[in-house]
Amino acid sequence: KAGVTQTPRYLIKTRGQQVTLSCSPISGHRSVSWYQQTPGQGLQFLFEYFSETQRNKGNFPGRFSGRQFSNSRSEMNVSTLELGDSALYLCASSLGDSWPKAFFGQGTRLTVV
Partner 1 sequence: QKEVEQNSGPLSVPEGAIASLNCTYSDRGSQSFFWYRQYSGKSPELIMSIYSNGDKEDGRFTAQLNKASQYVSLLIRDSQPSDSATYLCAVSSGGSNYKLTFGKGTLLTVNP
Count the residues of the shown chain that bind partner 1, applying the rule CB under 8 A: 26
For 105, phi and psi rounded to 5 degrees? -80, 180
Min dist CB 55 to partner 1, Å, is 5
- Residue 104 makes contact with partner 1 by CB under 8 A: yes
Q: How far apart, in whole angstroms, are the C-alpha atoms of residue 93 and residue 103?
A: 5
Min dist CB 112 to partner 1, Å, is 19
Question: Binder to partner 1 among 50, 68, 74, 112 (CB under 8 A)?
Answer: 50
Stretch that binds partner 1, among 19-27, 66-74, 75-83, 97-105 (CB under 8 A): 97-105
- Residue 102 makes contact with partner 1 by CB under 8 A: yes
Cα angle: 90, vertex 91, 96; to 5 degrees:
145
Q: Classify residue 96 as left (phi > 0), alpha (psi -120 to 50) or beta.
A: left
Strand partners, 42: 38
Q: Are 36 and 87 in contact (CB under 8 A)?
A: yes
Q: Are 20 and 76 in contact (CB under 8 A)?
A: yes
Stretch that binds partner 1, among 17-25, 66-74, 76-84, 102-110 (CB under 8 A): 102-110
12 or 43, CB closer to partner 1? Answer: 43
Which residues are near partner 1 by CB under 8 A? 31, 33, 35, 42-45, 48, 50, 55-56, 58, 88, 90, 92, 96, 98-107
